[in-house]
Structure 1
Amino acid sequence: MLWERQKTSRSASGIPGLNPTEEKDGNLQDIVNQGSLHEFLASLHGQFGPVASFWFGGRPVVSLGSVDQLRQHINPNRTTDSFETMLKSLLGYQSGMGGGATEAVMRKKLYESAVNNTLEENFPLLLKLVEELVGKWKSFPKDQHTPLCAHLLGLAMKAVTQLALGDRFRNDAEVIGFRKNHEAIWSEIGKGYLDGSMEKSPIRKDHYESALAEMETVLMSVAKDRKGQRSQTAFVDALLQSNLTERQVMEDSMVFTLAGCVITANLCIWAVHFLSTSEEVQEKLHQELEDVLGSEPVSLDKIPQLRYFQQVLNETVRTAKLTPIAAQLQENEGKVDQHIIPKETLVIYALGVVLQDADTWNRPYKFDPDRFTEDSARKSFSLLGFSGNQACPELRFAYTVATVVLSTVVRQLKLHQVKGQVVEARSELVSTPKDDTWITVSRRS
């Protein structure tokens, strides 16, 4: 397990970094003091350079914080996704971790195929859900503040549950129950596990374990209800048609729905927020829609032609540091620069640090979709796992939903900032605004 504490030597193989502050907890208190693992890693790399070490509980961890060092470590043929690996480990799941390269390749292809099939089969439903939300926004008075987090998380919950788990979740009560358990689970694996605080609070731990058990029961029930169904319209249907065990189907459904909801919601939230700050970007998106779609609605086959939309979403992910952390367990002894990374070492990809590294990105804190016209920017982004074959299925799903949201919104509305609003990120497993983020909208003439 990636995040388990284990007995090991006190040496972190000579890699520069922090000694453990406490023998039992390592540098956990330092992480707490910095506010999040991302802020801790930013400080760590600022002090010790692009390859740095620290202690998570009783084990040494190596963090990589620049494109050059990640390029040396990332295997383009890797069969496991670093974000999924980290999430499964935090949940205590084993399936798909260590079953051999052949099994991992088959699982990855199955997972990706399930996502693609789900989007193809349910694209009209996705359009309908987005149109309902935009219709609500159009009905608002011009100066009314629209809460992005509340609305777009609600959209993500409806879209992901219905597309992943089927029409049982057209019932609002089912979605509300899912959301309650989702929030209890995600709040702990996003923060409580990483800083060790949940283990010190029996009440929080019981609440988390109860929510996880209830969510697992729901997912097992969904799988049972849909087993033997001829049509494959939902993500879970494709898993059920494979040779996965019931437990594996449940775990993969858990990972997809947990991560899919949060990544989709926050990609949409940040994208709409950044658009509200730039009328120029909104108009360029509107012009691309006119050029590619004319008066037709957006369709799955036309999305690849919306290249500026892709640039906007790439820049949203980069500027917001959407997924600031990923992790891999060092399967065999490795080397980065002159540093030896021993077998079984936990290696953190400090993606949030890399995404705002001034050596890689010109004016790294500026939202500038045009930077992705450059080949070097696209290659760096792909290497980090945010585009191309290395992108996790949940992020590809989120890109599709976000493209439908933005194309529908930009065609009908203009987005405006709320004056005086300060939007700050809370960097956990997925970057989320600390408070709800507000915009105002006006109809296009």
Structure 2
Amino acid sequence: MRFLLRFRRDPIGALQELAQTYGDIVHMKLGGQHTYLLSHPDVIRDVLVVHHQQMHKPNLQQQPLGGNGLLRSEGEFHKRQRRMMQPAFHRKRITAYAEVMTGYTQQMSGRWHDKQRIDIAQEMMGLTLSIISKTMFGAEVEQDTQTVYHSFTTWMRLNSTHRFSPFDHVFNSLPLPRKKQQAEARARLDAIVYRMINERRTSGKDNGDLLSMLLLARDEEGGGDGMTDQQLRDEVMTLFLAGHETTANALAWTWYLLSQHPEVEEKLQRELDTVLAGRIPTSDDIPNLPYLEKVFTEAMRLYPPAWVIARRALDAYQVGTFTLPANSLLITSQYVVHHDARWYPDPQRFDPERWTTEARAQRPKFAYFPFGGGPRLCIGEPFAWMEGELVLATLAQKWSLRLAPGHKVEMEPLITLRPRHGLPMILHQR
């Protein structure tokens, strides 16, 4: 109970304290539920990759927005859905999205003014929402940005209130105001997603984007069936929300870190000036911007957008000399592992040079896993990397950002890792 109270107040601090005090395998009994915090990269690899078939994703959200979409589905159904969606994320297709990414970024930059105060967290949220909507669904959603932001924020905060609590079923059986607020937030998001689907159905156009693929997709290795309306809604909702939220947070935290480390920002700007000389970047430029990649990589180490992963062991599961009972809840935290001094000396320090080829080779693979791993590795990982680097390259050529004086920066670990009070920045045109 003491852990649950601490976890509700400060989930990241609670998990870090457990790992630092008790080691790589920590057992807790939460309301009769055997729960284990696993913090060694090799153990994490075994859970996510080697023995993934022995694991399911636990139902820690009573009202999952994505329904039975790719983030939550299991077994053969999950394999089928991923197989049908994978073509939209092939590297050649993602490369074709680059112009949309930089185009929307330029539009946003054109609205900015020297010495203007902005909330970079909300700016990045609006930008990535526009990008995912256009590239994946062929839709313009600028008018919906605030609705999506506030509805998703409401839903996440309410859903995170009792996360990992053994008494969640009790809270959800009560007629609490939060249930009505959750339903209202979900309904607002559903309206936007169904509008996109219905507009495409009505037009009958094949735009070659993800939504067209989903509407036309047939499971050739199965029975040749397409997706039901419910499946279509679940997958669109999953990618619509997950596809902008995580990258927006990664970008916002990157701007914050650059604002606090002008020496890193200066080195990044020198690289951009040398390689791009003021022109808009393309996907072909990314391999020639190694320091840009290091900066974005290190930012996601310090502030991983997805900060915790949970699995449920279907059967008894062996971890070293320990046998974990069937139905155990296994928790691993990107934030905890990414701040482990064994792999990252002085782990709180922002140091892009950690990501040289030599330094990477000295660490276990799962000492860094911002996108998960194994068969459930985020399907949009290549999209997110290209989007993040192109947005940074486009904007950092023209702008320096500085945190507004006196603003308190605090993490808000919901389903994703957000800045709790936003990140107000002052723009400085180069």
Q: TM-score, normalising length from structure 2?
A: 0.82
Query: Are the structure 2 counterparts of residues 321 and 408 from structure 1 closer, same or farther at C-alpha, using a change threshold of 3 Å?
Result: same
1:323 partner letter:
A
TM-superposed deviation, 1:314: 1.1
* Mapped pair 1:160 → 2:132: yes
Per the alignment, residue 322 of structure 1 pairs with: 305
Match in the other structure for 2:215: 240
Q: Structure 1 residues 431-440 or 186-195, which shifts more?
A: 186-195
Identify which of structures 1 and 2 has the higher relative contact order when contacts are C-alpha pairs closer than 8 Å and 6+ apart: 2
Counterpart for residue 326 of structure 2 = 343
> What is the rounded CA distance, in whole Å, between the counterparts of 1:437 and 1:82 in structure 2?
36
1:147 aligns with 2:119: yes
> Aligned to 1:385, what secondary structure does the other structure show?
coil
* 1:85–1:328 Cα contact (<8 Å) kept: no
Q: How many residues align?
A: 412
Residue 323 of structure 1 deviates from its aligned partner by: 1.9
Percent identical among aligned pairs is 20
- Structure 1 CA distance, aligned partners of 2:96 and 2:53? 27
1:83–1:327 CA contact under 8 A, matched in 2: yes
Shift of 1:354: 0.8
- CA shift, 1:357, in A, is 0.8
Indicate the residue corresponding to 1:128 in structure 2.
103
Match of 1:281 among 264, 268, 284: 264
1:329 partner SS = strand
Aligned counterpart in structure 1 of residue 157 of structure 2, from 187, 212, 218: 187
Give SS of 2:49's match. Answer: coil
For 2:415 and 2:372, the matched residues in 1 are separated by 21
Q: Residues 118 and 234 of structure 1 are in contact (CA less than 8 Å); yes or no, is this contact kept in structure 2?
A: no
Code of the residue aligned with 2:239 in structure 1: it is: F
For residue 48 of structure 2, what is the aligned residue in structure 1?
74
Deviation at 1:133, TM superposition (A): 1.9
**Which segment is superposed worse, 72-81 or 48-57?**
72-81
* Displacement of 1:269: 0.6
What's the counterpart of residue 268 of structure 1?
251
* Equivalent residue number for residue 386 of structure 1: 370
The letter for the 1-side match of 2:135 is L
SS at match of 1:287: helix
- 1:50 is matched with which residue? 24
Paired residue type of 1:165: F
Give the CA deviation at 1:245: 2.5
Letter aligned with residue 47 of structure 2? H
**Aligned partners of 2:37, 2:161: CA distance in 1, in Å?**
18
Change (3 A) 1:186 1:115: farther
What is the rounded CA distance, in whole Å, between the counterparts of 1:211 and 1:55 in structure 2? 33
The structural deviation recorded for 1:398 is 3.1
Partner amino acid, structure 2, of 1:220: Y
Q: Tell me if structure 2 keeps the 8 A contact 1:37–1:194.
A: no
Q: 1:434 to 1:295 in 2, by over 3 A?
A: closer
Supply the RMSD in Å over aligned alpha carbons.
3.4
After superposition, the C-alpha distances for 1:15-37 in whole angstroms (9 at most, x for unaligned) are xxxxx67xxxxx644422xx143
Aligned partner (choices 413, 425, 432) of residue 418 of structure 2: 432
Amino acid corresponding to residue 393 of structure 1 in structure 2? I
Contact in 1 for aligned 2:193/2:237 (Cα 8 Å): yes
Gaps of 5+ in 2: 218-225
Q: Which amino acid aligns with 1:274?
A: L
How far the C-alpha of 1:352 sits from its partner, in A, is 1.4
Partner of 1:400: 386
Instruction: Pick from 329, 332, 336 the counterpart of residue 353 of structure 1.
Output: 336
Structure 1 residue 358: Cα displacement = 0.9
Q: Deviations over 1:112-151 (max 9, x none)?
A: 43245774454333222211222233x233xx43321232
Shift of 1:368: 0.4
Q: Tell me how far apart the structure 2 counterparts of residues 190 and 388 of structure 1 sit (CA, whole Å).
A: 20
Query: Contact between 1:134 and 1:409, CA under 8 Å: does it hold in 2?
Result: yes
1:85-124 matches, within 5 Å, as 90-91=64-65, 93-94=67-68, 99-101=74-76, 103-116=77-90, 119-124=94-99
Q: Would you say the 8 A contact 2:302–2:335 is kept in 1?
A: no
Structure 1 residues 80 and 299, CA gap change in structure 2 (3 angstroms): farther
CA distance in 1, matches of 2:87, 2:199: 22
Separation of aligned partners in 2, 1:110 and 1:84: 24
Q: CA, structure 1 residues 270+134, in 2 after alignment: closer, same or farther (shift >3 Å)?
A: same
Stretch moving more, 160-169 or 323-332: 160-169
Deviation for aligned residue 1:213? 3.6
Name the CA shift for 1:176/1:74 in 2 (closer, same or farther; >3 Å).
closer
Ranges in structure 1 where 5+ consecutive residues have no aligned partner: 1-19, 22-26
**What is aligned with 1:15?**
none
Look up the match of 1:372: 355
Q: Which residue is equivalent to 1:14?
A: none
Counterpart Cα distance in 1 of 2:421 and 2:258: 18
Residues in 2 aligned to 1:305 and 1:83: alpha-carbon distance in whole angstroms: 38
Distance 1:56 1:374 in 2: 42
Letter in 2 for 1:385: F
Paired residue secondary structure (2:26): strand
Number of the residue aligned with 1:409: 395
d(CA) in 1 for partners of 2:171 and 2:293? 38
What per-residue deviation string (whole Å, max 9, x for no partner) do you get for residues 156-197 of structure 1? 332233333322525x1x344333432222222344544549
**Counterparts in 2 of 1:61 and 1:77: CA distance versus 1, 3 Å:** closer
User: For the structure 1 residues 123 and 107, does the alpha-carbon distance in structure 2 shift closer, same or farther, using more than 3 Å as the test?
Assistant: same
Q: Once the 2 structures are TM-superposed, how far is the Cα of residue 236 of structure 1 from its aligned partner?
A: 2.3
